Amino acid sequence: MLSIDPASMSERENYKFLIGSIIPRPIAFVTTRSKDGVLNGAPFSYFNIVSSNPPMISLSVQRAQGRQKDTARNILESKEFVVHIVDEQNVEKINKTAASLPPDQSEIDLAQLTPVDSLKISVPGVKEAKIRMECSLEHSLELGGIDSPGCDFIIGKVVQFHIQNDLYEKGRIDPRGLAAVSRLAGNHYAKIGDIFEIERPK
């Protein structure tokens, strides 16, 4: 067994160790709106459930050389965002939105995604997702150093769920129909593989 102290590795090596080990990671496609009204969209795989009661999710947005990404800045300013589940049908388009565009240009236009109004918040989502969640900012934390934080950790409360009708039956979501994709390392993604059952002990 090789034992490694992260302090002895470069930032890039630590990144590669984490993204290669913590797999598969769900992917959120997040829409936000800037002060000037530009609709922004980007994928995030540092994404998960924080709580089901109340329903809350987390996103972790890295800073690049200390600079906040548009998604983090927009969420902190407007306190609203929409999370979409990335799937086999939308992943190609959503990958295009990971381009680093200046804040006045919309990745939604670039990827030819279709904005759709939200019910409870003012930030639109996009049609090309079978599940989307309207979120309000619950909490944010700057992590990784007082002088130069390395990441914006965002916790959002889900205020509205949207799901394609045929995927939802008796309160259960059809995993094959959803066909969510996950992120591995590098340019690799994975589909849902074999599904098996294990009974939970009483």
Ligand X SMILES: Cc1cc2nc3c(=O)[nH]c(=O)nc-3n(C[C@H](O)[C@H](O)[C@H](O)COP(=O)(O)O)c2cc1C
Strands 131-143 and 151-163, sheet pairing: antiparallel
* Three-state secondary-structure class, residue 176: helix
- Which residue among 33, 69, 84, 132 contacts ligand X (CB under 6 A)? 69
Residues 99-138, mask of contacts with ligand X (x by CB under 6 A):
-x--------------------------------------
Q: Does 31 bind ligand X (CB under 6 A)?
A: no
- Which residue among 95, 136, 160, 182 contacts ligand X (CB under 6 A)? 95
- Which residue among 31, 39, 46, 133 contacts ligand X (CB under 6 A)? 46
Residues 167-196, mask of contacts with ligand X (x by CB under 6 A):
----------------x-------------
Show the tokens assigned to 131.
């599940």
Nearer to ligand X by C-beta: 93 or 130?
Answer: 93
What are the residues whose beta carbons fall under 8 Å from the beta carbon of 28, sequence distance 6 or more?
Answer: 43, 44, 45, 47, 57, 59, 83, 84, 85, 86
Q: Does 21 bind ligand X (CB under 6 A)?
A: no
What Cα–Cα distance (Å) separates residue 163 from each residue in 36, 147, 200? 30, 42, 28
Q: Does 98 bind ligand X (CB under 6 A)?
A: yes
Query: Least Å distance between CB 199 and ligand X?
Result: 33
Nearer to ligand X by C-beta: 41 or 121?
Answer: 41
CA distance 178 to 166: 10
Nearer to ligand X by C-beta: 168 or 182?
Answer: 182
Q: Nearest-CA neighbor of 98 among 19, 29, 43, 158? A: 43
CA distance 183 to 176: 17
Q: Which residues bind ligand X (CB under 6 A)?
A: 27, 40, 42-46, 60-62, 69-71, 95, 98, 100, 183
